[in-house]
């Protein structure tokens, strides 16, 4: 055994402590880096040597056997399982809040207030059926009602378009994350095959996996070579160094439905539908195709129910010229409805009176009669539509015929609208509550992960002092051995 054996042991000790100090410096430098996991220098003894001319083994020093990152994979999986639920509720919360703002209920400027003012105008007209100012006020408030219907519906369509655009952006982001994960897979597997431990690359990949988990629910498999394989609905999104991207395509119209479905998400390779059940994307799809569709259809059904009911009464009324009424509203779509131009040009055509002899089913008078046009009984009947009983015909082939006047019906136009707003409020509050709860849960679990994997500056400073003292001790051993060797070589005399 060499006389300088002790020097080599001390040299190895200094090198090991220096490497540990470098790891500490790396931790401190990345204390605020998102997704970074603290690293530790794992030290182990070097191969011992047989003790010459004696029993036992003599230690040969220390080495840094590995630089490992501190990471709890089970906790990672738990967080990701909760993150896609969080993403789902956050998406719903954002857009349901927008829908609530569109309806602005209860308020003095909301649709319910405009509708009430419109019916009040009919009530005022019934008191003075020949009054031109009362007729002009009715037409003005009718135009306000039409504008409110069209503005509300247009805004709902705008929200629907925004959701669709958001879905397309999320799909693009998902594909981008998949490509980045694939690239990191290639780098990690290459370095792992060489025996290296690419901790920083794995941290970057885990951060991407966290971001992906908020977008969509997926299954994760870690291969023996260090690559991760990601599956959505049983089909691979990322497999080793291969990516199967997603895209959006136009939806297929439903049978016996006026609803035009928005773009659907499919696999780019064969355009088969994806099975995305949770996450931001699933939340957006559910909000657009379930929640928003429900509110838009109910609003449109109510609007058409009002329009058709008013037209029916108005057609059976009589105007100031002694003629039967015409359609008060015209148009075949909510975007095109409006007060009849003939009525706007000639206010006398407002049929505020009720002829004693009703019109026959074929549109003709059932008996020859020329009633006086001066009473306002038809205006009274139209004003009372706000409290008329209606029934919901869920079997109707289109939205225009879904609400029907029915004396034995279970609700009114006002109550139907209020019920819709109430359900919207319940759904919105549920999304807010669930998003808040999930945020707290994810934050709690993230704090727990940070306590394990995060960098503590105090702990790193303590480690730095420890490694510094160990380095100094090894250096002191070398100094001591140097003095011994100096005495042995240069100072011994015969």
Which of the four pLDDT bands, split at 50, 70 and 90, describes residue 32?
very high
Mean pLDDT, rounded, for 410-423: 85
**CA torsion sign, 249 to 250 to 251 to 252?**
negative
CA gap 378, 365 in Å, rounded:
17
Phi and psi at residue 66, in whole multiples of 5°?
-160, 155
Between residues 130 and 2, which one has the greater pLDDT? 130
* pLDDT the model gives residue 134: 94
Contact 354, 318 (CB under 8 A): yes
Over the stretch 59-111, which tens digit does the pLDDT of each residue have? 889 999 999 999 999 999 999 999 999 999 999 999 999 999 988 777 777 88
Between residues 361 and 64, which one has the greater pLDDT? 64
Q: Which of 43-52, 279-288, 407-416 has the highest mean pLDDT?
A: 279-288
316 conformational bin, left if phi > 0, alpha if psi -120 to 50, beta if neither:
alpha
Mean pLDDT, rounded, for 383-407: 73
For residue 396, pLDDT over 60 is answered with no
CA gap 414, 489 in Å, rounded:
108
CA gap 228, 72 in Å, rounded:
16
For residue 19, pLDDT over 70 is answered with yes
For residue 494, pLDDT over 60 is answered with no
Over the stretch 218-230, which tens digit does the pLDDT of each residue have? 999 999 999 999 9
Contact 353, 326 (CB under 8 A): no
For residue 406, pLDDT over 90 is answered with no
Beta-carbon contacts of residue 440 (< 8 Å; ≥ 6 apart): none
Q: What is the pTM of this model?
A: 0.85
Q: Considering the chain, what is the average pLDDT of its residues? A: 88
For residue 364, pLDDT over 60 is answered with no
Which residues are paired to 219 by β-bridges? 231
* pLDDT the model gives residue 355: 78
The percentage of residues in the chain with a pLDDT greater than 70, rounded to a whole number, is 90
Between residues 135 and 57, which one has the greater pLDDT? 135
CA angle 436, 438, 439 (to 5 degrees): 65
* pLDDT the model gives residue 369: 46
Residue among 71, 73, 88 at smallest CA distance from 439 = 88
Which of the four pLDDT bands, split at 50, 70 and 90, describes residue 359?
low
Give the SS3 label for residue 173: helix
Mean pLDDT, rounded, for 246-263: 73
For residue 367, pLDDT over 50 is answered with no
Which of the four pLDDT bands, split at 50, 70 and 90, describes residue 370?
low
For residue 1, pLDDT over 70 is answered with no
Domain locations in the chain as residue ranges? 5-70+456-491, 77-440
Contact 326, 314 (CB under 8 A): yes
* pLDDT the model gives residue 401: 64
The percentage of residues in the chain with a pLDDT greater than 90, rounded to a whole number, is 66
Between residues 183 and 111, which one has the greater pLDDT? 183
CA gap 324, 329 in Å, rounded:
15
Mean pLDDT, rounded, for 132-155: 94
Contact 182, 242 (CB under 8 A): yes
For the chain, helix, strand, coil in percent to 5 are 60, 15, 30
For residue 395, pLDDT over 70 is answered with no
CA gap 64, 318 in Å, rounded:
100
Phi and psi at residue 487, in whole multiples of 5°?
-65, -40
Over the stretch 264-291, which tens digit does the pLDDT of each residue have? 899 999 989 999 999 999 999 999 999 9
Mean pLDDT, rounded, for 392-418: 72
For residue 384, pLDDT over 80 is answered with yes
Which of the four pLDDT bands, split at 50, 70 and 90, describes residue 493?
low
CA gap 236, 185 in Å, rounded:
14
Q: Are strands 246-249 and 242-243 parallel, antiparallel or unpaired?
A: unpaired
Which of the four pLDDT bands, split at 50, 70 and 90, describes residue 360?
low
Mean pLDDT, rounded, for 256-265: 71
Q: Give 367-429 as a DSSP string.
A: S-----TT--HHHHHHHGGGG-EEEE-TT-SSGGGSEEE-TT-SEEHHHHHHHHHHHHHHHHH
* pLDDT the model gives residue 50: 83
Please give the structure tokens belonging to residue 373.
């046009």
């Amino acid at each position: 055994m060499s006389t300088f054996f002790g020097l080599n042991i001390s040299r190895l000790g200094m090198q090991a402590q220096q490497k540990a100090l470098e790891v500490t410096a790396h931790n401190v430098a990345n204390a605020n880096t998102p997704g970074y996991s603290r690293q530790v220098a794992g030290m182990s003894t070097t191969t011992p040597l047989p003790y010459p001319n004696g029993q036992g083994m003599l230690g040969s020093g220390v080495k840094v056997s590995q630089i490992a990152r501190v990471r709890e994979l089970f906790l990672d999986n738990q967080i990701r399982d909760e993150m896609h639920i969080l993403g789902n509720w956050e998406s719903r919360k954002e857009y349901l809040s927008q829908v609530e703002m569109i309806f602005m209920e209860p308020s003095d400027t909301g649709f319910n207030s405009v509708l009430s003012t419109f019916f009040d105008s009919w009530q005022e007209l019934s008191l003075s059926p020949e009054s031109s100012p009362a007729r002009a006020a009715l037409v003005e408030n009718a135009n306000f009602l039409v504008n409110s219907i069209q503005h509300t519906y247009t805004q709902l369509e705008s929200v629907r378009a925004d959701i669709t655009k958001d879905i397309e952006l999320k799909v693009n982001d998902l594909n981008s994350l998949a490509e980045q994960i694939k690239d990191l897979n290639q780098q990690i597997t290459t370095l792992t095959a060489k025996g290296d431990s690419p901790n920083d690359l794995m941290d970057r990949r885990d951060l991407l996996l966290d971001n992906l988990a908020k977008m969509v629910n997926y299954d994760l498999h870690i291969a023996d070579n260090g690559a991760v394989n990601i599956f959505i609905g049983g089909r691979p999104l990322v497999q080793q160094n291969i990516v199967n991207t997603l895209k959006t395509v136009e939806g297929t119209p439903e049978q016996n439905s006026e609803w035009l479905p928005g773009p659907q998400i499919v696999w780019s390779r064969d355009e088969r539908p994806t099975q995305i059940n949770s996450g931001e994307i699933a939340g957006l799809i559910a909000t657009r195709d379930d929640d928003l569709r429900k509110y838009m259809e109910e609003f449109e059904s109510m609007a058409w129910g009002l329009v058709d009911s008013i037209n029916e009464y108005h057609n059976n009324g009589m105007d100031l010229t002694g003629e039967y009424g015409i359609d008060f509203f015209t148009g075949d779509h909510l975007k095109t409805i409006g007060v009849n131009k003939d009525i706007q040009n000639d206010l006398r055509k407002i049929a505020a009176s009720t002829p004693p002899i009703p019109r026959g089913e074929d549109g003709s008078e059932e008996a020859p009669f020329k009633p006086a046009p001066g009473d306002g009984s038809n205006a009274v009947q139209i004003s009372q539509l706000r409290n008329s009983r209606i029934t919901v015909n869920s079997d109707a082939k289109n939205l225009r015929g879904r609400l029907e006047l029915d004396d034995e019906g279970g609700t009114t136009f006002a109550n139907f609208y209020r019920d819709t707003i109430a359900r919207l409020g319940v759904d919105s509050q549920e999304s807010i509550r669930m998003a808040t709860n999930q945020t707290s849960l994810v934050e709690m679990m993230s704090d727990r992960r940070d306590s394990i994997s995060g960098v503590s500056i105090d702990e790193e400073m303590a480690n730095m002092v420890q490694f510094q003292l160990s380095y100094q001790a090894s250096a002191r051993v070398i100094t001591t051995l140097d003095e011994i060797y100096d005495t042995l070589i240069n100072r011994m005399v015969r």
